[in-house]
Amino acid sequence: MGKFKLDENMPNEATAVLREAGHDAVSIMDQQLGGQADESVATVCRQEGRVVVTLDLDFADIRAYPPADYPGIIVLRLARLDKQRVLSVMRRLIPLVSQEALTGRLWIVGESSVRVRE
Protein backbone atom coordinates (compact mmCIF):
# COMPACT_ATOMS: atom_id res chain seq x y z
CA MET A 1 0.00 0.00 0.00
CA GLY A 2 1.02 3.60 -0.49
CA LYS A 3 2.51 6.17 1.84
CA PHE A 4 0.76 9.54 1.84
CA LYS A 5 1.12 12.93 3.52
CA LEU A 6 -1.91 15.20 3.44
CA ASP A 7 -1.34 18.92 3.29
CA GLU A 8 -2.77 21.15 5.99
CA ASN A 9 -5.50 22.34 3.60
CA MET A 10 -7.03 18.84 3.51
CA PRO A 11 -9.71 17.81 6.02
CA ASN A 12 -8.46 15.58 8.84
CA GLU A 13 -10.98 12.95 7.81
CA ALA A 14 -9.19 12.52 4.46
CA THR A 15 -6.26 10.94 6.31
CA ALA A 16 -8.70 8.48 7.89
CA VAL A 17 -10.15 7.62 4.45
CA LEU A 18 -6.69 6.53 3.27
CA ARG A 19 -5.89 4.68 6.50
CA GLU A 20 -9.18 2.77 6.38
CA ALA A 21 -8.20 1.57 2.91
CA GLY A 22 -4.93 0.20 4.33
CA HIS A 23 -2.60 3.02 3.34
CA ASP A 24 0.05 4.63 5.55
CA ALA A 25 -1.28 8.19 5.77
CA VAL A 26 -0.27 11.11 7.96
CA SER A 27 -1.08 14.79 7.78
CA ILE A 28 1.14 17.81 7.96
CA MET A 29 -0.73 18.72 11.14
CA ASP A 30 -0.04 15.27 12.69
CA GLN A 31 3.66 16.08 12.43
CA GLN A 32 3.41 19.69 13.65
CA LEU A 33 4.48 21.01 10.24
CA GLY A 34 1.55 23.42 9.80
CA GLY A 35 2.48 26.76 8.27
CA GLN A 36 5.57 25.42 6.51
CA ALA A 37 6.35 26.66 2.99
CA ASP A 38 5.39 24.41 0.08
CA GLU A 39 9.07 23.72 -0.61
CA SER A 40 9.53 22.42 2.94
CA VAL A 41 6.46 20.20 2.66
CA ALA A 42 7.73 18.83 -0.65
CA THR A 43 11.17 18.14 0.81
CA VAL A 44 9.74 16.28 3.81
CA CYS A 45 7.52 14.18 1.51
CA ARG A 46 10.50 13.29 -0.67
CA GLN A 47 12.64 12.39 2.36
CA GLU A 48 9.90 10.20 3.83
CA GLY A 49 8.94 8.64 0.49
CA ARG A 50 5.37 9.93 0.79
CA VAL A 51 2.95 11.10 -1.89
CA VAL A 52 1.74 14.61 -1.11
CA VAL A 53 -2.04 15.10 -1.33
CA THR A 54 -3.13 18.74 -1.49
CA LEU A 55 -5.63 21.32 -2.63
CA ASP A 56 -2.73 23.73 -3.31
CA LEU A 57 -2.51 24.29 -7.06
CA ASP A 58 1.12 25.45 -6.70
CA PHE A 59 2.08 21.76 -6.50
CA ALA A 60 0.72 21.31 -10.05
CA ASP A 61 3.55 23.49 -11.40
CA ILE A 62 5.89 20.90 -12.91
CA ARG A 63 8.69 23.48 -13.20
CA ALA A 64 8.70 24.03 -9.44
CA TYR A 65 7.85 20.41 -8.56
CA PRO A 66 9.03 18.08 -11.34
CA PRO A 67 7.05 14.85 -10.85
CA ALA A 68 10.13 12.71 -11.48
CA ASP A 69 11.71 14.14 -8.32
CA TYR A 70 8.90 13.01 -6.01
CA PRO A 71 7.23 9.83 -4.76
CA GLY A 72 4.06 11.31 -6.25
CA ILE A 73 1.92 14.42 -6.12
CA ILE A 74 -1.87 14.45 -6.03
CA VAL A 75 -3.55 17.83 -6.47
CA LEU A 76 -7.30 18.04 -6.03
CA ARG A 77 -8.69 20.70 -8.32
CA LEU A 78 -12.32 20.99 -7.36
CA ALA A 79 -14.99 23.62 -8.03
CA ARG A 80 -16.19 23.32 -4.43
CA LEU A 81 -13.82 22.71 -1.55
CA ASP A 82 -16.30 21.81 1.17
CA LYS A 83 -15.36 18.86 3.36
CA GLN A 84 -17.99 16.49 1.97
CA ARG A 85 -16.88 17.11 -1.63
CA VAL A 86 -13.21 16.58 -0.80
CA LEU A 87 -13.95 13.37 1.12
CA SER A 88 -16.14 12.08 -1.71
CA VAL A 89 -13.32 12.61 -4.21
CA MET A 90 -10.83 10.96 -1.83
CA ARG A 91 -13.06 7.88 -1.57
CA ARG A 92 -13.30 7.76 -5.36
CA LEU A 93 -9.48 7.87 -5.56
CA ILE A 94 -8.90 4.84 -3.31
CA PRO A 95 -9.19 2.20 -6.06
CA LEU A 96 -7.00 4.26 -8.39
CA VAL A 97 -4.16 4.87 -5.92
CA SER A 98 -4.27 1.19 -5.02
CA GLN A 99 -3.82 0.08 -8.64
CA GLU A 100 -1.87 2.79 -10.45
CA ALA A 101 1.76 3.83 -10.08
CA LEU A 102 2.22 7.14 -8.27
CA THR A 103 6.00 7.48 -8.19
CA GLY A 104 7.25 10.23 -10.47
CA ARG A 105 3.74 11.29 -11.41
CA LEU A 106 1.53 14.31 -10.86
CA TRP A 107 -2.15 13.50 -10.60
CA ILE A 108 -4.56 16.38 -11.11
CA VAL A 109 -7.91 15.23 -9.81
CA GLY A 110 -11.06 17.00 -10.91
CA GLU A 111 -14.71 16.47 -10.12
CA SER A 112 -15.01 13.55 -12.51
CA SER A 113 -11.59 13.07 -14.06
CA VAL A 114 -7.96 12.37 -13.29
CA ARG A 115 -5.10 13.64 -15.43
CA VAL A 116 -1.66 12.16 -14.96
CA ARG A 117 1.58 13.90 -15.92
CA GLU A 118 5.04 12.44 -15.69
Nearest-angstrom CA–CA distance, 75 and 59:
7
Instruction: Give the residue among 36, 29, 101, 38 at the shortest CA–CA distance from 65.
Output: 38
Would you state the pLDDT for residue 95? 92
**Residues in Cβ contact with 50 at an 8 Å cutoff, skipping those fewer than 6 apart:** 3, 4, 5, 24, 26, 44, 71
State how many domains the chain has: 1
**Residues in Cβ contact with 14 at an 8 Å cutoff, skipping those fewer than 6 apart:** 6, 53, 86, 87, 90
Nearest-angstrom CA–CA distance, 116 and 118:
7
**pTM for the full model?**
0.94
Would you state the pLDDT for residue 38? 87
Domain that holds residue 34: 3-117
- Residue 7 sits in a domain whose CATH number is 3.40.50
Which pLDDT tens digits describe the chain residue by residue (118 residues)?
789 999 999 999 999 999 999 999 999 987 777 788 889 999 999 999 999 999 999 999 999 999 999 999 999 999 988 999 999 999 999 999 888 889 999 999 998 899 999 8
